[in-house]
Amino acid sequence: MSGHSHKLALPKFLSFLKNRPTKENGLVSWLTTVDHKRIGILYLYTSFFFLFVGGIEALFVRSQLSANDLEIFVGSTYNQLVTMHATTMIFLAIMPLAAAFFNFMIPLQIGARDVAFPRLNAFSYFMYLAGGIVLNASWFMGGASDAGWFAYAPLTSATYSPTHGVDFWILGLILTGISSTVAAINFIVTIINMRAPGMTLMKMPVFSWMAFVTAFLLAFALPVITIALIILFMDRNYGTTFFQTAAGGDPILWQHLFWVFGHPEVYIIVLPAFGIVSEIIPVFSRKPLFGYKLVVLSGAAIGFMGFTVWSHHMFTVGMGPIVNSAFSITTAAIAIPTGVKIFNWILTLWNGKIKFSVPMMYSTALVFLFMVGGFSGLMHGAAASDFQQHDTYFVVAHFHYTILGGGLFGFLAGTVYWLPKFFGKIMDEERGRKIFWWIFISFNLTFFPMHFLGTSGMPRRIYTYSSDMEWTALNGFITLASFVLGIALLVFFIEVIKAVKSKNKASADPWDARTLEWSIPSPPPVYNFADLPKIEKIDEFWESKVSNKPIKTLPRDPHGIHMPGKSWMPLITSIGLLIASFGAVYESDLRYIGLGIFLLAYYGWALEGEAEYYLPYPKKGKK
């Protein structure tokens, strides 16, 4: 342990704070961890869990729709399922899945030992978990929100949603919002400051680039929704009237605030997946990514343009032809940078020597599925005909093709691809292929027919329909397919866990890959890089393999390997805010207790001692 950190003169009764937790194993080590890899694993498992929860909700929804006039989940119950399915999938499953990869991979890809703010990183995870708990607690405490995931005012007002469901929903999303905002800032600072020497931004791996863009989207979009949620909470509980027409408020204001967040959110989901695919396709084509600069720039352009299209969710609100035309055109324009990505992926395949391992199967599937979703998006962008498609199953088909086809498929690819790095184990190739085909086919059988339900006039979010609408047969078919998809996904995750528990040890670089994370053992040691790399080229690791020269490294620090210290404070601050959230829903004194815990832990955070420690270096030549 070194002595060059500042010693704080703590009052005696606080002296226990001097010693940071140091447990390396067991529950305590996970609760106090600040290791980005462990936090990544926590994100991964937690998002798998919520993917399961959201999937069950989806299958409940599909059961109710499997035939006309069913009464399994009726009215409000059905609306709660729909609302929570979307909220869970977006905020608790897909976004955190991206966060899992960000956490684990960014430091490894840029040659760093951890993120810039390790304790803040742990705090992000615990806030996400707290948000998930608050959101889902509503099921057991008087019912979840039934106002839909975009929660249009005034349906969310105390008049039309008198239960606490919406309050739980608001607070849950505020907590996950804090989680994502903090994480975004953490990743931005990490990427700006902690890249290995020589790795200029234009030599950074594409996945880290897309994470970088996504982090900016998060940092700009999430405060908007967080503020809107706070306003909504005040409308419901403290008598303000921002969204209440009768008192001079405007419900459409909510829609603008929501979608200014909500559309960038789509890119928050798909850009990380695009980043993963942009890593995988070159590796398995054994070629560099075609047009690296344009892929990066188009990602940034998509992120920027994502903020200019929000009102295409509101074409039917009555904005008039001028506004509708403007947003039609900005929407269609996003097709240009998106097209660039697709062309570059295909041109990377061109002339390659393609190996169809499981990650590559998911990646190429993503390109196809995202094209389907992208084209239906282009069609939605034509406002004049979108007046028909809007709020029908055509949209439901569209966003499942983009969010699952363009998002989840990328994360499945990433799971298989990076599993060796996460756990040092590799998935069974044969079974992986079979599972892929089951998922791919059942996905299309579930969501493609929804286009036809849309053109035949079935609105989204209706809990039932009568037989004379002629939607029964197709809905029955879709439900059947959705159960196959559900089971196939479940089998996928069982297979992941089986692989983790198995003895299929993975080598450091099982795919013959290109980026730095593969230059260190699987799984990486706690300090990631014993010797920090010096970068000269894009894909330095690949170049070093081709030229058969080791990557240059920085001289060793005489103190040892610099490591961040563990801490209880991220967990305790999060518990404080979790308790405060329940207090806020019920307007009870728990609020003050929770905030008190938060504040105390916050001081503890500032005061606790020895922020870092040093590990001895391993022997040279031994990885």
Nearer to another protein, 32 or 328 (CB): 328
Instruction: List CB contacts of 321: < 8 A, sequence separation 6 or more.
Output: none
Query: How many CB atoms are closer than 10 A to CB 345?
Result: 26
For another protein, give the closer residue by CB, 348 or 574. 348
Q: What one-letter code names the amino acid at 115?
A: V
Shortest CA distance to 99 belongs to which of 133, 130, 122, 116? 122
DSSP string over 423-465: HSB---HHHHHHHHHHHHHHHHHHHHHHHHHHHTTPBTT-S--
Distance separating alpha carbons of residues 129 and 139, to the nearest angstrom: 16
Q: Which is nearer to another protein, 288 or 604 (CB)?
A: 288
Q: Report the run of H or E that residue 469 belongs to, with start and end.
A: none
- How far is it, in rounded angstroms, from Cα 283 to Cα 280? 5
| Least Cβ distance, residue 367 to another protein (angstroms) | 6
Active site residues: 85, 114, 149, 179-180, 263, 265, 267, 278, 312-313, 338, 341, 460
Q: Compute the least distance from the CB of residue 409 to another protein, in Å.
A: 15
Q: Minimum CB separation from another protein for residue 401, in Å?
A: 12
CB of 117 or CB of 290, closer to another protein = 290
**In the complex, minimum distance from the CB of residue 459 to another protein, in angstroms, rounded to a whole number:** 4
Taking a C-beta distance cutoff of 8 angstroms, is the pair 534, 198 a contact? yes
Residue 590, token pair as written in the block: 């728990």
Q: Work out how close the CB of 230 gets to another protein at its nearest, in angstroms, rounded to a whole number.
A: 21
Query: Residue 505 gets which letter from DSSP?
Result: B
Residue whose structure tokens are 């979703």: 373
**Beta carbon of residue 343, minimum distance to another protein (angstroms, whole number):** 5
Burial of 71 (0-12, 13-18, 19+ CB in 10 A): exposed
Please give the Cα distance from 414 to 275 (Å, whole number): 10
Token pair 């706690």 is at which residue?
Answer: 526
Distance CA 212, CA 205 (A): 11
Closer residue to another protein, CB minimum distance, 346 or 599: 346
CB nearer to another protein: give 317 or 615: 317
